[in-house]
Amino acid sequence: MSKKGIADYVRETQVWKSIFRHGPPNNARNRAAVVAGNVFLHLHPIKLKKSGVQLGYTWCMGGLSFFVFLALTVTGVLLMFYYRPTAEYAFNDIIALREHVPLGIMREIHRWGAHLMVITVWLHMFRVFMTGSYKPPREFNWGVGVILLVLTLLLSFTGYLLPWDQLAIWAIAVGSNMAKATPFLGHGGPGAALAQIGDFVMVSDKNDVRFQLLAGRFVGEPALLRFYILHCVFIPLVVGVLIAIHFWRVRKDGGISAPL
Amino acid sequence: MKQFVNIVADPIYSFPITCVLYYYMLKYYKFFGSKKFAWTVTLIAIPVFLIMMADPNFYLIITWPDNIPITILIVAVSFFTWYSIHKAAINDTRQEEGEVPVEATPENREKVWCWPNLVYTEMFAIIAGTVFLIVWAIVFKAPLEEPANPTWAPNPAKAPWYFLGLQEMLVYFDPWMAGVVLPGVIVVGLIAIPYIDTNPKGNGYFCFNDRKFAISSFLFGWLVLWLYLIIVGTFLRGPNWTFYGPFEYWDFHKVVAEYNVNLSEFLWIKFLGTAMPSNILVREALGIVLSLGYMFGLPPLLAKTSFFKELISKIGMIRYYITIVLFLLMFSLPIKMVLRWAFSLKYIVALPEWELNL
Amino acid sequence: MSEVRKHLNRREFFSALTVGWAAFAAASAGLLSLAFRFSYPNVNFEPEMDFVAGLPEDYEEGVDERWKNGFGVWMVKQEGKLVAFSNICTHLGCIPNWQPTDLKFKCPCHGSGFYMNGINFEGPAPRPLERYKISLNTEGKIVVDKTKVYRYEKGQWDHPDSFLEV
């Protein structure tokens, strides 16, 4: 019991002890306690196979995807303070985000982050394939991952419309016109011409899947609002749920894959 | 030299070249996965890239803000493809010598504490990711064009870069195939992979020898069909979706004579020398028979070949049929590309009356 | 309680369960279809679908782009006929540009090309441009009605409403 440092003094206060219920993680007991007792860290197992922490094996692409998703959530919420999803304001608000706001790079972080997330998700999947990690018992989690990949692309795609510039609406016009060509469900797709009784057209541009996506016959203000809601609320919620399932199953299927 | 690159970059030449390179990459994967190869290629690539950047047209297309992720993607994918092959080559050599893969050695099977091993790695990844994003955001402005104008389409009008592979497919397929059916098949096919690949080897370590068929078909779809098409769609498609070489000026008036002919026109007008029959099903009969034969006739026929007989004995009939249908759909794209270049074939089945073109 | 349970034998119990599940499934389906229907508004505020396009004498031989920006229509006068073409590419709905030097409509998205008479001849477009209904009102002015579409491959271009004799 030599001289006590200020750190030791802080560690002994009631406030510190009420937050951290264990000593510093420098022995086995406390290392277990810090991971098991923290709501964020308890996603992890307390101990794990060495290959599961090696960057050479995991590339950390799954972790980075999740990190970028969180970064996008934070920057996205910040952007929502200034952005109004109407044809009249949307474009000007995007300019205001650059010109009238201190540190006007929030939109840049959000946009580049979106691109980065697509890349990291692809590379994560690439790694999982190359190590054969989709094999039993992880088949189901691979499927969840594929759905998450699709949702990542949809998130990015719905966000692409929001700046409401030429780049945005024409990219979405091209993309959403593919929905028009859905067999049987789109008015420009195969099968729609057959679903016709006399003069009554069953699948028309007013009731097909593209109309549901755009809330109109072309990319207009209702589409902007619809994409905004999909982008900011609906898809992130679904992604959040699926990420929870994905992480849970990584643990339940035996952690990060390793040779059997 | 630039002229030559401009010509060779055209998908007519660059797609077969990519396929051949891909074949040799896998055939000599141990050489490809060596450090010597990686250093040589890197040392050649950097000056070549710098020389290319000196060209104003190339500079323009590379620095266009939404194309930057693709440059990052190309670098990252090249590195990680090499890296995974590198690790696979090491493990294969070890297994040939009777050793276990690196991941299966006792020291790697050992368990380590999550804190600090994993937590610190994650912390480092978070900091690196944050720095990377902020630097990227400061250096490059996010693109913003003129306000939306629904009555005037910019030229060229491109989808977001990760969909440009699909947009490039639209050159060869109708939207219902390129935009709906094939993407759907990609998603379903990806989900199906663990259920049709019953090979128990290669679980949890890098390897190539143990799962040659799985890895070479996945990499073909991922590198050649998906990424190659994205690169073509991004860098080599200019106004009017016409092909432009990487050093070519985007001249809006570049005229490309392109007259594509349907299979039915080949059959009735050029071959039989008669008028097109008025009954649309008779008119397209050949194309319909060919397409149905491709999708439903080929699988049972292929099942008779020795290669697939062996596969069936391993995975069973149901898995075989799912696999083969997925493969046929995947190869419909290169087949259609080759037919387009070789015969200017537009559609095999052309039924615009029903919006059904193949 | 035990008396009640006595009367509920296994078969009855399962039939009750079946009814219960069926009711639950029906309720869920009902709610989902309500949510689905909710995504289709009854009214939408898109631009008018028909417009008055002046007198037939206003148009010269060739392609006229004056209604392109407001209504998405090209008026094409050729061989004694005046027709109203939709300016939406039949491939993926981009807006082609009229190129007077090459005498063709060229789509910037995927390179589809159409002759002045609307027939597709290059690129991936699967069919010709669509014609809108065109007629004269009582004042002798042209009325273009975009709700009615005439398609070449269906043989509808012979329909008297699909062109105007001038």
pLDDT of residue B196: 93
pLDDT of residue A197: 73
> Considering chain B, what percentage of its residues have pLDDT values greater than 70?
99
Q: Do C108 and B157 touch (CB under 8 A)?
A: yes
DSSP state for residue C103 in the 8-state scheme = T
C-chain residues near A205 (CB < 8 A) = none
**Taking a C-beta distance cutoff of 8 angstroms, is the pair A176, A210 a contact?**
yes
Q: C41 vs chain A: nearest CA distance in angstroms?
A: 7
- A179 and A112 both lie in a single domain: yes
**In DSSP terms, which residues pair with C81 in a beta bridge?**
C78, C165
Whether the predicted pLDDT of C111 surpasses 80: no
Q: What ipTM, to 2 d.p.?
A: 0.94
Count the Cβ atoms, other than its own, within 10 Å of residue B244: 21
Peptide bond into B277 cis (omega under 30): no
**Taking a C-beta distance cutoff of 8 angstroms, is the pair A173, C96 a contact?**
no
Provide the CB-side half-sphere exposure for C7 (13 A, CA): 3
pLDDT of residue B16: 93
CA-to-CA separations, A222 to A87, A225, B293, C46, in angstroms, rounded: 9, 5, 45, 10
Instruction: Assess B184–A contact: CB distance below 8 Å, yes or no.
Output: no
Nearest Cα to C118, choosing from C108, C132, C139?
Answer: C132
pLDDT of residue C6: 60
Considering the domain boundaries, does residue A260 fall inside one? Answer: no
- A113 and A140 both lie in a single domain: yes
Q: Do B170 and C92 touch (CB under 8 A)?
A: yes
B-chain residues near A190 (CB < 8 A) = 176, 351, 354-356
- A127 and A163 both lie in a single domain: yes
Q: Do C126 and B157 touch (CB under 8 A)?
A: no
Which pair of structure tokens corresponds to residue B45? 């690539």
Of B134, B146, B160, the CB nearest to A166: B146
Whether the predicted pLDDT of C48 surpasses 80: no
Whether the predicted pLDDT of C86 surpasses 50: yes
Burial class (CB in 10 A: 0-12, 13-18, 19+), B207: buried
> Which residue's structure tokens are 């905004």?
A228
Nearest Cα to A210, choosing from B160, C85, B180, B350?
Answer: B180
Whether the predicted pLDDT of B349 surpasses 80: yes
Residue C30 host element (H or E): helix C10-38
Averaged pLDDT score across all residues of chain B:
89
Distance CA A63, CA A54 (A): 13
Whether the predicted pLDDT of C3 surpasses 60: no
- A86 and A15 both lie in a single domain: no
How many structural domains compose chain A? 2
Averaged over A135-143, what is the pLDDT? 94
Q: Do A171 and B162 touch (CB under 8 A)?
A: no
Kindly list the domain boundaries of chain B, sorted by start residue. Answer: 1-143, 263-357
- A62 and A29 both lie in a single domain: no
SS3 for chain B is CHHHHHHHCCHHHHHHHHHHHHHHHHHCHHHHCCHHHHHHHHHHHHHHHHHHHCCHHHHHHHHCHHHHHHHHHHHHHHHHHHHHHHHHHHHHHHHHCCCCCHHHCHHHHCEEEHHHHHHHHHHHHHHHHHHHHHHHHHHCCCCCCCECCCCCCCCCCCCCHHHHHHHHHCCCCCHHHHHHHHHHHHHHHHHHHHHHCCCCCCCCCCCCHHHHHHHHHHHHHHHHHHHHHHHHHHHCECHHHCECCCCCCCCCCCCCCCCCECHHHHHHHHHCCCCCCCCHHHHCHHHHHHHHHHHHHHHHHHCCCHHHHHHHHHHCHHHHHHHHHHHHHHHHHHHHHHHHHHHCECCCCEEHHHCEEC
A-chain residues near B76 (CB < 8 A) = 119, 123
Whether the predicted pLDDT of A2 surpasses 70: no
The band of C1, judged by pLDDT with boundaries at 50, 70 and 90, is very low
The band of B258, judged by pLDDT with boundaries at 50, 70 and 90, is low
pLDDT of residue B2: 82
Whether the predicted pLDDT of C16 surpasses 90: no
Instruction: Assess A222–C contact: CB distance below 8 Å, yes or no.
Output: yes
Distance CA B20, CA B14 (A): 10
Whichever domain contains A163, its CATH number is: 1.20.810.10
Most C-contacting residue of A178, A217, A226, A227 (CB-CB within 10 A), to test interface? A217
pLDDT of residue C4: 53
Which pair of structure tokens corresponds to residue C28? 């869920």
Averaged over C19-46, what is the pLDDT? 88
Using DSSP bridges, classify how beta strands C62-64 and C164-165 pair: parallel, antiparallel or unpaired.
unpaired
- A211 and A244 both lie in a single domain: yes
Averaged over A90-97, what is the pLDDT? 92
State the greatest distance between any 2 C-alpha atoms of chain C, in Å, as a whole number: 94
Averaged over A118-138, what is the pLDDT? 95
Q: A117 vs chain B: nearest CA distance in angstroms?
A: 10
- A31 and A99 both lie in a single domain: no
**In DSSP terms, which residues pair with C92 in a beta bridge?**
none
CA-to-CA separations, C137 to B340, C86, C160, in angstroms, rounded: 48, 20, 15
The answer for residues whose C-beta is within 8 angstroms of residue A101's C-beta and 6 or more apart is A82
CA-to-CA separations, A235 to A73, A123, A224, in angstroms, rounded: 12, 22, 15
Report chain C residues touching chain B, CB-CB < 8 A: 68-70, 72, 91-92, 94-97, 101-102, 106-111, 121-124, 126-127, 153-154
- A172 and A197 both lie in a single domain: yes
Whether the predicted pLDDT of A172 surpasses 80: yes
Averaged over B186-209, what is the pLDDT? 93
Whether the predicted pLDDT of C13 surpasses 80: no
- A72 and A34 both lie in a single domain: no
- A29 and A87 both lie in a single domain: no
pLDDT of residue A22: 86
pLDDT of residue B255: 67
- A242 and A178 both lie in a single domain: yes
Structural domain boundaries enclosing A35: 1-47
Whether the predicted pLDDT of C5 surpasses 60: no
- A13 and A120 both lie in a single domain: no
Distance CA C32, CA A129 (A): 36
Nearest Cα to C121, choosing from C98, C101, C104, C109?
Answer: C104
Nearest Cα to A72, choosing from A156, A164, A172?
Answer: A156
| DSSP string of C31-74, one letter each residue | HHHHHHHHTS-S---PPPSEEE---GGGPPSEEE-TTHHHHSEE
Distance CA B171, CA C43 (A): 36
Distance CA B335, CA B172 (A): 10
The band of A216, judged by pLDDT with boundaries at 50, 70 and 90, is confident
Residues belonging to chain B: 358
Instruction: Assess A198–B contact: CB distance below 8 Å, yes or no.
Output: no
The amino acid at residue B184 is G
C-chain residues near B239 (CB < 8 A) = 108
Could you report the per-residue pLDDT of B102-126, keeping only the tens digit for each? 999 988 888 999 988 899 999 999 9
Nearest Cα to C153, choosing from C134, C125, C111, C112?
Answer: C125
